[in-house]
């Protein structure tokens, strides 16, 4: 395990689990987490810990339960059963306190398309109580970093898919949280932006001690940045460990092969959500 350099305190959260070293100080702690939607079990008895200062990746095929887990960790959804702890607090009971500790880049778009890029950054800064001066400086820096500065006064609805995605990420970095959640952040990004993103994530992790929880289905990314990886499929964690450990466990050369061994080669369907239907309706109405 590459947990070196991580703050060490007591091992009180470990309860003698084998995947948990003695000096483990957890920032995220999940035990027997279950989320059901009617008869469908999206997250099925999942347990894991993420250490302070760690980069932890959730790797899984479409519909494996990654986003549902993130929603529960970020106070957007209440679990059916199980316990959650974010920095020692239960996100169901201490919603507001938990929200003060976290930052999120969502998988789906979450910018306001009827505002400009700059206005989106400003609004985010206000919502996260970033002081005005810092807000302006950081917003400028980030928009330049993600090459959106020239278009800062354009409405987001005029942006291309990649530009919207870049804005989403730039906005996510405007405030410095204790824990950063990245839900498939690189979806639809070009290699340059992808590189920029991971460089920045590593910078935040190493220099500001930000704990990072990310989901992806790009193996190379998980391999490159994550200290530990949990492979999730059909709502269950099927394997957990460092990239090297997962390869060793499956006796494969690459993480991609290891992933296929662990989750099977079948292609997954994700039901077209109501959001997608709505987008089509809205297009017909010419609303956006």
Residues 129-158 that bind another protein (CB under 8 A): 129, 155
Site for another protein (CB under 8 A): which residue of 7, 127, 134, 244?
A: 127
Distance of CA 212 to the CA centre of its chain: 7
The count of other CB atoms within 10 Å of the CB of residue 218 is 16
Contact 42, 236 (CB under 8 A): no
Nearer to another protein, 71 or 228 (CB): 71
The count of other CB atoms within 10 Å of the CB of residue 9 is 11
Which x/- pattern over 191-220 shows residues binding another protein (rule: CB under 8 A)? ------------------------------
- Least Å from the CB of residue 278 to another protein: 4
Q: CA-CA distance, 260 to 279, in Å (whole number)?
A: 33
The reply to whether 271 sits near another protein by the rule CB under 8 A is no
- For helices 161-172 and 132-145, give the axis angle rounded to 10 degrees: 140
Contact 213, 58 (CB under 8 A): yes
The reply to whether 123 sits near another protein by the rule CB under 8 A is yes
Token representation of residue 127 = 């919502």
Site for another protein (CB under 8 A): which residue of 71, 138, 166, 228?
A: 71
Contact residues for another protein, defined by CB under 8 A: 71, 74-78, 96, 99-100, 102, 104, 106, 108-115, 119, 122-124, 126-129, 155, 274-275, 278-279, 281-282, 287-288
């Amino acid at each position: 395990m590459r947990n070196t350099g991580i703050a060490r305190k007591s091992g009180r959260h470990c309860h003698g689990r084998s995947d948990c070293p003695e000096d483990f100080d957890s920032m995220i702690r999940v035990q027997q987490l279950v989320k059901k939607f009617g008869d469908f079990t999206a997250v099925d008895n999942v347990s894991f810990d993420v250490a302070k200062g760690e980069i932890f990746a959730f790797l899984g095929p479409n519909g494996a339960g990654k986003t549902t887990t993130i929603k529960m960790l970020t106070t957007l959804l209440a679990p059916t059963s199980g316990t959650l702890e974010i920095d020692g607090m239960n996100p169901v009971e201490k919603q507001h306190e938990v929200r003060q500790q976290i930052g999120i880049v969502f998988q789906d778009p979450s910018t306001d398309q009827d505002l400009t890029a700059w206005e989106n950054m400003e609004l985010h800064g206000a919502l996260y109580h970033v002081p005005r001066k810092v807000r302006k400086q950081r917003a400028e820096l980030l928009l330049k970093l993600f090459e959106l500065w020239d278009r800062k006064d354009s409405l987001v609805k005029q942006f291309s898919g990649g530009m919207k995605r870049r804005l989403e990420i730039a906005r996510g970095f405007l405030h410095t949280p204790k824990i950063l959640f990245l839900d498939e952040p690189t979806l639809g990004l070009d290699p340059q932006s992808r590189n920029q993103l991971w460089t920045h994530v590593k910078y935040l992790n190493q220099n500001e001690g930000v704990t990072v929880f990310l989901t992806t289905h790009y193996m190379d990314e998980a391999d490159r940045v994550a200290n530990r990886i949990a492979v999730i499929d059909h709502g269950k964690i099927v394997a957990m460990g460092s990239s090297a450990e997962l390869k060793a466990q499956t006796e494969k050369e690459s993480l991609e092969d290891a992933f296929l061994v662990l989750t099977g080669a079948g292609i997954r369907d994700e039901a077209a959500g109501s959001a997608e239907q709505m987008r089509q309706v809205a297009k017909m109405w010419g609303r956006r």
